[in-house]
């Protein structure tokens, strides 16, 4: 199915087909694909679903490493909280502070045990 960022987070709120998960300063709302009502979840997000500049589910990060690979700038290390955003059309440099966004329907929340 392809590469995804997998994050283990606590369930802060759930209702209907959405769940909000959080840990520290990170808070994400996504599609609830859990079969139970546990307090811990695994969140799956594809790197290409992140957008530089923010939007829904904003995450503030600092760029640590950038590698140029032909047509894109895959940012390989971002802190905190993700090692995501594999590619970006923007030219980023180590030390840049950026905001990433990811749409609610691209954040999938699974049970912590036996996730996707």
Q: What average pLDDT does this structure show over 99-113?
A: 93
Mean pLDDT of 6-12: 93
Distance CA 41, CA 22 (A): 10
pLDDT tens figures, 48-76: 888 888 889 998 888 888 776 665 555 54
pLDDT of 71 reads 58
Q: What is the pLDDT of residues 74-90, one digit of tens each?
A: 554 454 444 444 445 56
pLDDT in tens, 41-50: 999 998 888 8
Instruction: Please say whether the beta carbons of 65 and 43 come within 8 A.
Output: no
Question: How distant, in Å, are the alpha carbons of 6, 47, 76, 79, 88 from that of 95?
Answer: 24, 20, 13, 10, 16
Question: SS3 for 116?
Answer: coil
**pTM of structure:** 0.74
Any alpha helices (H) in 1-116, and if so which ranges? none
């Amino acid at each position: 199915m392809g590469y995804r960022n997998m994050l283990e987070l606590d369930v802060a709120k759930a209702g209907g087909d959405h769940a909000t998960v959080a840990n520290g300063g990170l808070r994400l709302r996504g599609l609830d694909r859990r079969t139970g009502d546990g307090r811990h979840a695994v969140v799956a997000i594809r790197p290409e679903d992140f957008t530089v500049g923010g939007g829904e589910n904003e995450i503030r990060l600092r760029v640590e490493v950038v590698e140029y690979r032909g047509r894109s700038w895959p940012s390989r290390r971002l802190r905190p909280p993700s090692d995501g955003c594999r590619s970006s059309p923007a030219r980023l440099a180590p030390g840049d502070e950026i905001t990433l966004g990811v749409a609610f329907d691209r954040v999938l929340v699974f049970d912590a045990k036996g996730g996707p």
